[in-house]
Structure 1
């Protein structure tokens, strides 16, 4: 009887916790923005995010932290961790019934957003309560309503926009390749001077998707439909042929690959390879300024197939203990002031998802007049080359197939 009573108690406790979570979420939905800011005052918000870029880290530590403290009396703790590990941590806490979580704010990517949403790990919808989002963003934009093919449903707020670019040493490469075929020719004519990060790295995965776009019989079929393993198998046959043909011409003859973008950047900075790559068309500017990348660094995008771009977001875990503080932080991070500082080459240099047409004349002029630096490709070229992302389920599928079809060959 005592055992049954104990089990019943645990069941009721679980129901009570769920009810409390639901009530807490509804309670926040019923609050005015002024009331949310009152609750946020004095809170500490733990921001979990990828920490592999020094310029991004400096933006958070040197600009965001003091400004957020001054404006809202919210303390921001930046905790570096890969997004996949962040989601694993949330899943572990949910299984343990941990309502007082350790994460308050997440820099999210599309692949992991899908997983977090499907497992009910996120708080929201909340974006309809964020003043900066409602005032300065095109809330009807499909870029904000979908993340790697998954509907956002107000569970994440757009933080930045990036496009995939290649950086190269113009003292060694007179004319950068414009197509995948020309990239292959470059690798053949300059053995050991090109490589890409292994699948599983965010940048390496993106490079492989570019090859998929370039070799597929129909990009539209990939973009317009949910993930299909049958389509993936058919459309990827030429991908593995292309990458295997390239392998013997890569750095170390393809016997090993950089494990991360950081490692690829190091190889480039040391002159072992003549190109690097990555999301964020402006990321090389600060690296050149600091003497990490050579002064002769320039940038290009492939005209065929083009340049994949995406919007990245901020989400709040369902078990965050500082939801109001996280909302205040998001409102600040989406503000014109914080977005303009993020655009500065001295920090992140990343493009903004703000709709400039919604800004007043002074703020709009500040964005339009900012010099992003000599290594940044002009906006028209980026726009002309832009490719949207495919369904997030292609990412883990391509990772596994790359290991089978390329790395293990």
Structure 2
């Protein structure tokens, strides 16, 4: 027994040393992909299984990946794409933090779908692999790399750590049979809410769409977005500047659904209220969601979307590769494929997803541009040029926490 007790630690040390050498060798090999030519990357990706971790709460998005993207990746590149649904993107970040803290180098995540606060958290905690986007042919050929919404994610420099997958823009959703002329400003919205008691609400924070609605209130009630294009810490009187926003939200609260005593816990719950006719208006950061819901028969055919005259928030969402991905070459090939004009055109259709393209239209061929323009967005979706002409920049991530905490203190608790 004593001999075996003496031998086991030695074997364990040798095993750990071997694992350490394998990890270092694997890291060196994967880092080489950042300077390899695309053919070498494609060859390395063949037969790899790629796990894509993402929010899984939208059937259209899930179906697009499972039925459009995955089969083409398998057939054209030999890459097996496995979609792994998560309840919340924050869960992805938390898992990566845990894996990094215990030194896990062979992670199960190969692609993650993130932006905004989650990207900043991932970047700050060094959870992302490296500057890989410059290696992607479709990124180099079709992306305007200098565009502010591509170079920065909610004010945080991207630095090649994530690749743009699509764009989103906030829209309001209404039934034109109930409100033929929708409000075009926050002042007009307040009037509509008072004239139609119980017909309006917004998701309780920290719901992403509910938070976005409040950011519109911030812009319109405090003098515009320009003043917030700097770090929150640099504004000494920020609390005073936010006061008109809280006053507005409290002024409409008695006229909201259930007199503002409670708020829908999520956008999905709010959409159910709209679908059942209990409220007359909802909202979305997906400008084609309403068209998709009409196609599915959930929303009435008289559903339409609108934006404010002063504009609505727009952002880009991204795909990234975690620091400990076990299939980095496959992840690069998959992301490159999802950025192709063909995949982006398919993604634009409300029958698939309805997500706006991340590509620079001027970089597309005439045929590709025509195919993009020929996509039937549905009557509920605003024309792309109208959306583009009413885009507002997002706040940097450091404001979001302040606003969400402030809402709990100044609105929800009142």
TM-score where L is the length of structure 1 = 0.94
2:3 matched to which residue of 1? Answer: none
Deviation at 1:358, TM superposition (A): 1.5
2:82 matched to which residue of 1? Answer: 77
- Higher Rg: 2
2:202 matched to which residue of 1? Answer: 196
1:284 matched to which residue of 2? Answer: 290
Task: Structure 2: state its 5+ residue gaps.
Answer: 1-5
Q: Does 1:384 align with 2:384?
A: no
CA distance in 2 between partners of 1:218 and 1:13 (Å): 59
Identify the match of residue 404 of structure 1 among 391, 396, 409: 409
SS at match of 1:98: coil
Q: Does 1:338 align with 2:343?
A: yes
1:274 matched to which residue of 2? Answer: 280
| Structure 1 residue ranges, 4+ long, deviating more than 6 angstroms after superposition | 8-18
Q: Does 1:210 align with 2:216?
A: yes
Q: Does 1:150 align with 2:156?
A: yes
Deviation at 1:173, TM superposition (A): 1.1
How many residue pairs match? The answer is: 405
Change (3 A) 1:184 1:96: same
The question of whether the paired residues in 1 share the 8 Å contact of 2:23 and 2:105 is answered with no
1:321 matched to which residue of 2? Answer: 326
1:395 matched to which residue of 2? Answer: 400
Map 1:108-119 to 2 at 5 A: 108-119=114-125
Deviation at 1:14, TM superposition (A): 11
Deviations 1:204-259 (A, max 9, x none): 11111111111123421102x12226353122111111111111111111111111
CA distance in 2 between partners of 1:126 and 1:231 (Å): 40
The question of whether the paired residues in 1 share the 8 Å contact of 2:35 and 2:135 is answered with no
Identify the match of residue 182 of structure 2 among 176, 179, 196: 176
1:350 matched to which residue of 2? Answer: 355
The question of whether the paired residues in 2 share the 8 Å contact of 1:163 and 1:308 is answered with yes
Change (3 A) 1:187 1:140: same
SS at match of 2:99: helix
Q: Does 1:47 align with 2:52?
A: yes
Deviations 1:24-72 (A, max 9, x none): 4432123221111111111111111112222111111111111111111
Task: Structure 1: state its 5+ residue gaps.
Answer: none
1:261 matched to which residue of 2? Answer: 267
Q: How large is the Cα RMSD of the aligned pairs?
A: 2.3
The question of whether the paired residues in 2 share the 8 Å contact of 1:25 and 1:123 is answered with no
CA distance in 2 between partners of 1:315 and 1:351 (Å): 19
SS at match of 1:159: strand
Q: Does 1:32 align with 2:32?
A: no
Change (3 A) 1:10 1:92: farther
